[in-house]
Structure 1
């Protein structure tokens, strides 16, 4: 049956958060993303999400919608199976609009794999059918951190990611609150560029003195401070992840060449799906560990990322928790969740997640 695209629509996707989410580079009270829908001649419907976090990728909902307004009419009549060619064309025209491109790629692959009647994780390699995510907590008081950690541990989640912001005393107090509330939780830290290199090392040394193990320290310094990142990596045994530093495969090559980090965090909204495949390949070749994360995304985009990590396999760190931070879930289907484990094996085809009250898009 024909996989020709016959209709493309887009719209704002606005979802409230359960509570404000504060990190070192800003505060978020509401998700403002975009939903893309692609319909094929064979009846398959693909859904994609574009999620921007302006301090990180320079995009916002307005720029995403403007890009979609310009490009989506050009998709009609194209073959969804030519998703790599279409991705390259979008990148050539809108080189800085990675989130918008990621949303289109997501919808294309959702429609294409529904046409093939296979789930996306199997199309990408089928290495596994599940991933295990952490849950993040924002910059909050130690008392609130203690409460959140207790709740997270009670849900059967094994890993917690603590946002830190450059104030060593305040960050240590928050981490101690987590240890008190969730003593069984594996601790990861995410500075979102909030430290300088000596301060980041000092924080890790203080936690070592307190006998608090850390399984990962994500983006401790500003994204352009390659020497600072390398300094932190060289002065700790804790794995250091490059996040905001990595937007494409060239950035991943530079991590390998400089020794700036031992882990790379792939986010589909920073790179798009096609470029993310190249980043993963580069990291594997360079013996860099893989992490997958996201912006503040709904279940649709996070489910796509879960397919990506499960299908390729070999991801040591999974940070796909943002649907649990939202006050509403406007989607049906997707993974089956138990604690921090997302199980994809019951998904019929594609991403398997679709807007509530709308067609699933299966054929």
Structure 2
């Protein structure tokens, strides 16, 4: 039995300005609002985690404000005084008392994994069983909404050897403009880069039938979540008939959702996001379901800072190389971060840090300056 226990839990609402506006179908982000969590243990170890959403409540049923409040009001009493190094017991305790709230749960599980890694002198990937790769290929998202600006941005990333796969955000304008926007970008990049598109649930099934064929003809490789998340039957029908693979993203809001989607053969690709499944260990359960069903994987993001990005990266690194790579570019889009040293990106990949836990430390001055009061 461990004599260690959790002494203190603190959750901070932090505003992180972006280098440029990030335009999605449902929202344009200029400052990313996120929750930075710290769990302090009696042996002097502190674990850190993060929970971010995209555009407040425009993406999911949790917002940064609700995440902070719910961690303080409901999660913290379940954590104080407990052994921080028995993750199974702690997360079972949380599951028995709190329903849903996967974003908040993910921040808690990430912080506990970070603490355990520091306590044992192991990386989070090692705590999760060990990494299969040292680095993850990273897709860059083109979301300025301006075709020429997106092309210039992609060319810069190729020149820097930072990204060679690009995802174009669509759905905020007319269907014809959307298709032309993506097709023009693909034509400009040619065979030097792959192009995928993300609709963020903004098309109907009928619109997607015609647009999907046009996008495939233009050389676009994949369409992410074109229809509303609840309409898994439409996703399944489109997956059977379109000449281009579809990826389920918003449709997966829990591990149970991933099982239901796999059972219905709704999409041949799943986007993995620790926030939507409830943490790094939880996302690996979704990955196992997809692998058993022969579904390819993609490592998604909620535009987290370096803390949440690395929590995802450590989990994804324990899987065989993901067929559709990852989208862990969040720290690269931020004008400011809350860590003393950001992760390393080069040779088209994000490289896992070598230190214990997540491998990053909070910059206390930055955190204090960026806290939203």
TM-score normalised by L of structure 1: 0.92
> Does the aligned pair in 1 maintain the 2:12–2:37 contact within 8 Å?
yes
Q: How does 1:85-100 map to 2 (within 5 A)?
A: 85-100=89-104
- What 5-or-longer segments of structure 2 have no aligned partner? 366-373
Question: Cα deviation per residue 1:81-116 (whole Å; 9 max; x = unaligned)?
Answer: 222332233334332311111111111000001111
Superposed displacement of residue 324, structure 1: 1.4
> Does the aligned pair in 2 maintain the 1:300–1:334 contact within 8 Å?
no
> Does the aligned pair in 2 maintain the 1:102–1:271 contact within 8 Å?
yes
SS in 2 for 1:12: strand
Q: How does 1:75-224 map to 2 (within 5 A)?
A: 75-125=79-129, 126-138=131-143, 140-156=145-161, 157-165=163-171, 167-183=174-190, 184-209=192-217, 212-224=218-230
Superposed displacement of residue 307, structure 1: 0.7
- Which shows bigger deviation, 47-56 or 329-338? 329-338
Match status 1:249 vs 2:255: yes
Question: Cα deviation per residue 1:142-164 (whole Å; 9 max; x = unaligned)?
Answer: 22222222222222111001011
Q: In the alignment, which residue of structure 2 is the partner of 1:268?
A: 274
Q: In the alignment, which residue of structure 1 is the partner of 2:338?
A: 330
Equivalent position to 2:67, from 52, 59, 64: 64
Hey, what's the Cα distance between the residues in 2 that align with 1:35 and 1:319? 20
Q: In the alignment, which residue of structure 2 is the partner of 1:297?
A: 304
> Does the aligned pair in 2 maintain the 1:150–1:181 contact within 8 Å?
no
Superposed displacement of residue 187, structure 1: 0.8
Superposed displacement of residue 177, structure 1: 3.7
Hey, what's the Cα distance between the residues in 2 that align with 1:66 and 1:292? 28
Distance 1:200 1:139, change over 3 A: farther
SS in 2 for 1:162: strand
Superposed displacement of residue 43, structure 1: 2.3
SS in 1 for 2:315: helix
Question: Cα deviation per residue 1:218-243 (whole Å; 9 max; x = unaligned)?
Answer: 10111011121012101124221110
TM-score normalised by L of structure 2: 0.89
> Does the aligned pair in 2 maintain the 1:37–1:45 contact within 8 Å?
yes
> Does the aligned pair in 2 maintain the 1:68–1:100 contact within 8 Å?
yes
Match status 1:341 vs 2:342: no
Hey, what's the Cα distance between the residues in 2 that align with 1:23 and 1:351? 29
Q: How many residues align?
A: 355
Equivalent position to 2:245, from 239, 246, 251: 239
Hey, what's the Cα distance between the residues in 1 that align with 2:215 and 2:79? 52
Hey, what's the Cα distance between the residues in 1 that align with 2:222 and 2:340? 33
- What 5-or-longer segments of structure 1 have no aligned partner? 359-363
Equivalent position to 2:233, from 227, 238, 246: 227
Superposed displacement of residue 257, structure 1: 1.8
Question: Cα deviation per residue 1:311-360 (whole Å; 9 max; x = unaligned)?
Answer: 2334222111122111112213453210430111x4221111221248xx
Answer 1 or 2: which has greater strand percent: 1
Q: In the alignment, which residue of structure 2 is the partner of 1:361?
A: none
Superposed displacement of residue 202, structure 1: 1.4
Superposed displacement of residue 294, structure 1: 1.5
Superposed CA RMSD in Å reads 1.9
SS in 2 for 1:331: coil
Superposed displacement of residue 62, structure 1: 1.5
Distance 1:296 1:208, change over 3 A: closer
